[in-house]
């Protein structure tokens, strides 16, 4: 069974909305002085933040999803973009 056009369209809308929220959070953090997302020296810090945000997300705090996604992207970037 393949996805319908409506399913694909819904995925596209949701992905665009979510990534827009990701980017807005990245810009906000960068403007407030956060840095290191692309520096391997910060990998341990990023991994620690990932664990903490994942825990809160799994406990029901859906607001953490954007942070988890951003941290996943940072880790993906630092570990060589497989």
Q: Domain boundaries in the chain?
A: 5-78
Between 3 and 18, name the one with better pLDDT. Answer: 18
Q: What is the mean pLDDT of residues 62-68?
A: 97
The values of phi and psi at residue 16, to 5°, are: -65, -40
Most distant CA atoms of the chain, gap in Å: 48
What does the pLDDT look like over 30-51, one tens digit per residue? 999 999 999 999 999 999 999 9
pTM of the full structure: 0.89
pLDDT of residue 3: 87
């Amino acid at each position: 069974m393949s996805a319908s056009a409506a399913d694909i369209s819904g995925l596209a809308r949701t992905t665009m909305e979510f990534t827009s929220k990701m980017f807005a959070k990245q810009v906000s953090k960068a403007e407030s002085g956060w840095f290191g997302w692309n520096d391997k020296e910060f990998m341990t810090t990023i991994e620690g933040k990932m664990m903490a945000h994942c825990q809160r997300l799994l406990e029901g705090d859906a607001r953490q999803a954007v942070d988890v996604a951003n941290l996943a992207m940072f880790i993906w970037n630092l570990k060589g973009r497989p």
